[in-house]
Amino acid sequence: MVGGNCWRTTGDIEDTWPRTTSLGFGQAAYCAYAGPGHWNDPDLLMLGKLGDHPTRLTPNEQMTQISLWCMLSAPLLLSCDLTALDDFTLGLLTNDEVLSVNQDLLGRQAQCVAKQDQCEVWARDLGDGSKAVALFNRSWGREAIAVHWKDLGLSGKQTVRDLWRQKDLGVLADGFETSVPWHGVVLIRVTALP
């Protein structure tokens, strides 16, 4: 018997879009095994300078990876050179609203709630009663992606906040739709009106 609080669920990651997405989006099968004290680990974050070269992931792809790892409650293990952080990488690693999704005390791993072609919507419950929702575009072109409150088990008006931009997007009645760049993500928090 092996004890521990986290375990690798994958082989080794590489700083390529196909490998990163296959490992990250493949975590859906392990949702039942994640929670406080027991975490699924899809391997390292491929951000910034990796050894002797910058990551081969584009900025959108890096944002997608850290958003997905946060939605999965995965350990945020860095593989980059911390002495060579640029402003973009530092911003990815220090956005407190995004990191709060990963560190949420409820510890629920996100699940895919809607999928159409290469676009996926993942959602997870948060300890304060709100939901974190990630709209992922895995295609090679910009796509409009929508999430309907009914897909999240919600009804009525909800407030929406963009976590990467740290900006309130308003109160919406039935759902949220936005344009997502190729290999990109929009990460929002959805909260019921009081």
pLDDT tens digit string along 78-129?
Answer: 999 999 999 999 999 999 999 999 999 999 999 999 999 999 999 999 999 9
Smallest CA-to-CA distance from 163 within 70, 74, 88 is with 70
Structure tokens at 47: 């951000």
Flag whether 1 is in a domain.
no
Q: Clarify whether residues 93 and 131 are in a common domain.
A: no
Of 54, 77, 102, which marks where a domain is finished?
102
Q: Which domain holds residue 174?
A: 111-192
Q: Clarify whether residues 85 and 117 are in a common domain.
A: no
Structure tokens at 22: 């296959």
What contacts 24+ positions apart, CB below 8 Å, involve 13-18? 13/42, 13/43, 13/44, 13/46, 14/46, 15/46, 15/50, 15/55, 15/56, 15/57, 16/56, 16/57, 17/57, 17/58, 17/61, 17/183
Of 75, 102, 129, which marks where a domain is finished?
102
Q: Which tens digits make up the pLDDT trace of 6-54?
A: 999 999 999 999 999 999 999 999 999 999 999 999 999 999 999 999 9
Structure tokens at 130: 């709100």
Q: Clarify whether residues 86 and 47 are in a common domain.
A: yes
Pairing of strands 175-180, 167-172: unpaired
Flag whether 128 is in a domain.
yes
pTM of the model: 0.96
Q: Clarify whether residues 64 and 115 are in a common domain.
A: no
Q: Which tens digits make up the pLDDT trace of 156-175?
A: 999 999 999 999 999 999 99
Structural domain count of the chain: 2
Could you tell me if 112 and 122 are in contact, meaning their C-beta atoms sit under 8 angstroms apart? yes
Q: Clarify whether residues 63 and 96 are in a common domain.
A: yes
Could you tell me if 182 and 139 are in contact, meaning their C-beta atoms sit under 8 angstroms apart? yes
What's the sign of the alpha-carbon dihedral 144, 160, 28, 23?
Answer: positive
Q: Clarify whether residues 79 and 128 are in a common domain.
A: no
Q: Clarify whether residues 46 and 133 are in a common domain.
A: no
Q: What is the pLDDT of residue 1?
A: 44
Q: Clarify whether residues 61 and 149 are in a common domain.
A: no
Of 102, 131, 154, which marks where a domain is finished?
102
